[in-house]
Amino acid sequence: MEIPYGVKERPDTGLNNAKLGIWLFLASEVMLFGGLFSAYIFLRTGVDDWPMGSKYLDVKMATLNTLFLITSSVTMVMSWASLKLNDFKKFKLYAGSTLLLACGFLVIKYFEYSSKFSYSYYPSTDNFLGIYFTMTGLHVIHVIGGIAVIAFLLFPGAKMWETDPERFTSRIEVTGLYWHFVDLVWIFLFPVLYLL
Amino acid sequence: MSDNHTKETFFTKYIWSIDHKVIGIQYGITALLWLLVGFGLMMVMRYQLAYPDTQIPFIGWIFGEDKLLLPEKYNSLGAMHGTIMIFLGVVPLAFGAFGNYLVPLQIGAIDMAFPRLNAASYWTYFLGSIIMVVGFFVPGGAANSGWTSYPPLADVATAGQTVWLLGMVMLITSSLLGSVNIMVTVIQLRAEGMTWFRLPIFVWTQFITAFLLLLAFPPLEAAGILQLMDRLAGTSFFLPTGLVVSGEVLTNAGGGSPLLWQHLFWFLAHPEVYVLILPAFGIISEIIANNTRKPLSGYKSLVYAMTFLGFMSFVVWAHHMYLTGMGTTMGAFFQTTTMIISIPSVVILTALLLSLWGGSIRFNTPMLFALAFLPMFGIGGLTGLPLGLAAADIHLHDTYYVIGHFHYVVAPGTLFALFAGVYFWFPKVTGKSLNESLGKLHFYFSFIFMNGVFMPMFIQGLAGVSRRLADGGQAYAHAADVIYLNEIMSWSAWLLGMAQLFFIANVVLTLFKARTGEINPWNATTIDWTETSSPPLGHGNFEKIPVVYRGPYEYSVPGSKIDFTPQTEKG
Amino acid sequence: MKPEEVKHHVKIYINVFVALLFLTVVTVGISYIDIGVGPGIALGLLVASVKGSLVACYFMHLIDEKKTILWTLFATVISFMILIFVPLSTMFSNAGY
């Protein structure tokens, strides 16, 4: 016996289990990053001498990263749309692009962090840097998680397209939702940490 | 989940099982063992409280050559007692065990929505609990800054605190996986005819609990990450500037706030207490309806009250922080919300009490525990009121009054409900019923000694005896008149421990009995009782997926030949 | 979803992408204009919220999502707001620090 509504939608809710599951998970992630945003606000309000982001951080690198992530969000949703149009080649192209852009994000982050360390700017230096490293660090962990899942679905996991295309498409949709969320967090992190 | 034909090994059947019933039992056994461990820690603490600075008998050698419980060790036992009871014991039992086992059965589903995620959530819990306990073996011993882990103390505490934080991260992850699973299962996998208002109250409570865990736990995870950064990366999120520790000024950057931790911690920890009580309400509701042979009074009131309770629980947390200097405006805000949240609790208790009226009450062991729950929870709830009123809390905060209050709700409250649940559902899970005589002995002695341990705490608290004192208040003049109560409470605690032997013996002896396989020994109406065998079928629970035609508590329907009508019986 | 519908969605994705690129430029641009800390924060968060809404509504398809999801997110947003604003309020009430 198979668990019902894994991919097919349940009539009264209009949802399948995977989509509902990922949205509930994302709700918890909103609260996780919310806790850190709350900490940022609390810490910043508590002192008079909070530094401007540009004092420590490279706005140009972060802007490039923002563009990478936004573009990767488009390619991710396009990869899903390609599957809906039955175009597996296009799917691979878009999913692959998403992976490349995501890795690009990590590369820039690597340069950013090493640059900070080379100036002896560590998390312990002050609370701005502390919260910067913690928030972007947690975000990076989420990016890595996303890369792992997308890579799995693009390579070994892509076999499922042959045997159960609807289920595979659902997996890509759900992964996409997660990936858009990762982009969304960065859309807020970027101005809050770098520009304000 | 379409691999019914792959061969089952011992490993896939009992260890990495994706069957919600096996996972529920795994949670149950693990949690009950941890409850015993957590209780054991407290029994040692109570020795120190009754007979300060004397050698601990029997097991004193664990604490060093002089067999004394030093204050730091006392603090470790205290912090770990709280942590283990809440996060390794009660929640995994109430939510992980009862929830996982019963929710699919009660809604007519063949398993949870995500069976493999379910297995992952159990093993993450298991791993987290092992990590927690490793703390006892690191230099400096286990975490000793209270289960509340307040900085700055927790920031500068010994290595055990880091281990605590890592354990919490795993436990929170486990909980989140479980919450998603329960919520999707209840929303998506209800059988045909099982509308929301035909759900057993038990399922409602599990659903609301899952919602609370989903949204409230992550801020604590965030706080845990921040505290780990403070401890491991030298940040100062919770360390104010110029802090002096052991006579030396810290060289950290400073600028942090200990209050930030308190806000993030209590944002979880207040909803957490409703996580502790809601499953208990659910279990009690099922048992009362069944043993009064009449429908519950106020099904809809119960549902609306519990839902309202769930939402309100997010806006009361700073009543744990009245004495932190937040000012009267915010103090008044939280006092108001706290008073408001007492209303749904009263509605729920009233509905359950009214449900007894005119009932044909059967005084079996589960019902005895359920009946006792009502006044015990009542005492716990009422003693919360002076704590929720900021002015009275000035005197009572951080005294034994608080300890008495919360233990009444969790110990003769939730734990009694959980025991009731074990006695009630044991025949469904194992096909064998627990012995009634041993059960009643377990009940009566537990009831007496629970009150023996916790009632005197109100007296000590009103006298001003602070909590977390390794000498039980001996050093303070204001405690002199009430210090004699320590010995009484300690003996009650040890006798309470002995009383649990009736339960343990009962379980062991019953497991060796032959299986009767009686499907519905309590003559209950819900699907878990009427539509599956005892124990339920390994693959898929039901011979035939049930169709529901009625509400969950159609007992003594007028005109019916028997005093209960299953949910699946056509109208 | 029928192929025509998907193609229509694709057009929307491209439009949203262009809007996001534009708004990113706007975000960075206004950070160079001195309008004071308070207004700066408000404007920055406003633009970020617009960008976030575009991602949520169109890439994540919230604009035509089912009630269950929308109500869950509504509860989450309320919870998030409480977490952000209430601890802050305790810093500004009359005892203050």
When computed from its CA atoms, the radius of gyration of chain B, rounded to whole angstroms, is 24
Q: Does residue B548 fall inside a structural domain?
A: no
Given pLDDT bands bounded at 50, 70 and 90, which one contains residue C94?
low
ipTM: 0.97
The set of residues, in sequence order, having a beta carbon less than 8 Å from that of B258 and lying 6+ positions away, is: B150, B151, B152, B238, B239, B240
Q: What is the nearest CA distance from A76 to chain C, expressed in angstroms?
A: 9
Alpha carbons B531 and B195: distance in angstroms, whole number = 18
Share of chain A above pLDDT 70, in %: 100
pLDDT at A97 over 70: yes
Structure tokens at A20: 């509902």
Residue B175's contacts (CB-CB under 8 Å, 6 or more residues apart) are B91, B95, B121, B125, B213, B217
Residues of chain B positioned with their CB less than 8 A from the CB of A138: 225
How far apart CA B219 and CA B264 sit, in angstroms, is 6
Cβ–Cβ < 8 Å for B191, B198: no
Looking at the domain assignment, is residue A2 inside a domain? no
Is the CB of residue B344 less than 8 Å from the CB of residue B298? no
Is C96 a residue whose pLDDT tops 70?
no
Instruction: Tell me which residues of chain A have a C-beta less than 8 Å from any C-beta of chain B.
Output: 1-6, 10, 13, 15-17, 20-21, 24-25, 27-29, 31-36, 38-39, 42-43, 46-47, 122-127, 130-131, 133-134, 138
Please indicate, yes or no, whether the overall pTM of this predicted structure exceeds 0.90.
yes
Sign of the CA dihedral running B245, B247, B253, B259: positive
Query: B555 forms bridges with which residues in the sheet?
Result: B564
* Alpha-carbon torsion (B512, B513, B516, B521), positive or negative: negative
Cα–Cα separations (whole angstroms), residue A172 to A103, A157, B336? 19, 11, 47
Does residue B561 lie within any of the structural domains?
no
Mean pLDDT computed over A46-66: 92
Q: Is residue A142 part of a domain?
A: yes
Number of domains in chain B: 1
Helix, coil or strand: residue B488: helix
| Dihedral-angle region of residue B158 (phi above 0 means left; psi in -120 to 50 means alpha; beta otherwise) | beta
Q: Quick one: how far is CA B370 from the chain centroid? A: 16
What would you report as the CA-atom Rg of chain C, rounded to the nearest whole angstrom?
18
Identify the closest residue of chain A to C66 by CA–CA distance. A14
The tens digit of pLDDT for each residue in C65-81 reads 999 999 999 999 999 99
The CATH number linked to A115 is 1.20.120.80
Neighbour count for residue B333 (Cβ, 10 Å): 18
Q: How many domains does the structure of chain A reveal? A: 1
- pLDDT for position B6: 63
Which token pair is C81? Answer: 């707001």
B505 and B438 in contact (C-beta within 8 Å)? yes
**Secondary structure (3-state) at A52:** coil
Identify the helix (H) or strand (E) that includes residue B245: strand B244-245
- pLDDT for position B369: 98
Residue B515 burial (CB count, 10 A): 12
Residue in the structure block whose two tokens are 């004192």 = B469
Interface B:C, Cβ pairs < 8 A: 42
Q: Give CB contacts under 8 A, 24+ apart, made by B546-550.
A: B546/B108, B546/B191, B547/B191, B547/B192, B547/B193, B548/B108, B548/B191, B548/B192, B548/B193, B548/B194, B548/B195, B548/B198, B549/B193, B550/B198, B550/B525
What is the spatial distance between Cα A113 and Cα B260, in angstroms, rounded to a whole number?
Answer: 26
Beta pairing partners, B537:
B541
pLDDT of residue B1: 44
Please indicate, yes or no, if residue A135 is contained in any of the structural domains.
Answer: yes
Least confident of A32-36, A67-71, B57-61, C77-81: B57-61
Q: Cβ atoms within 10 A of the Cβ of C97, count?
A: 12
What's the pLDDT tens digit per position in C10-68? Answer: 999 999 999 999 999 999 998 888 888 888 889 999 999 999 999 999 999 999 899 99
Task: State pLDDT tens for residues A135-176.
Answer: 999 999 999 999 999 999 999 999 999 999 999 999 999 999
Which CATH number characterizes residue B329's domain?
1.20.210.10
> What pLDDT is attached to residue C97?
45
> Residue B190: what pLDDT?
97
- Contact yes or no for C68 and A15 at CB 8 A: yes
Give the domain range for residue B509: 19-240+254-530
CA B61/CA A177 separation, integer angstroms? 56
Task: Tell me, yes or no, whether B288 lies in a domain.
Answer: yes
Quick one: average pLDDT of A83-87? 95
State both tokens at C34. Answer: 């001195």
- What three-state secondary structure class fits B365? helix
CA distances from B165 to A121, B129, B227 (A): 26, 12, 8
Testing the interface with C: which of B184, B329, B335, B338 to mutate, by most C Cβ within 10 A? B329
Average pLDDT, consecutive stretches of 10 residues, N- to C-terminus, chain B (571 residues): 64 89 97 97 96 91 88 94 98 98 98 97 98 95 96 96 98 98 98 97 98 97 98 96 92 92 97 97 98 96 98 96 90 96 97 96 98 98 96 96 98 98 97 97 98 98 96 93 97 98 97 94 97 91 95 95 94 77
Identify the pLDDT of residue C34.
Answer: 82
Residue B511 included in any domain? yes
Residues from chain A contacting residue C97 (CB–CB below 8 Å):
46
Asked whether residue A27 is assigned to any structural domain, the reply reads yes
> Does the structure show a pLDDT above 70 at C95?
no
**Residue type at C6 in one-letter notation:** V
Residue count of chain C: 97
Q: Does residue A123 lie in a domain region?
A: yes
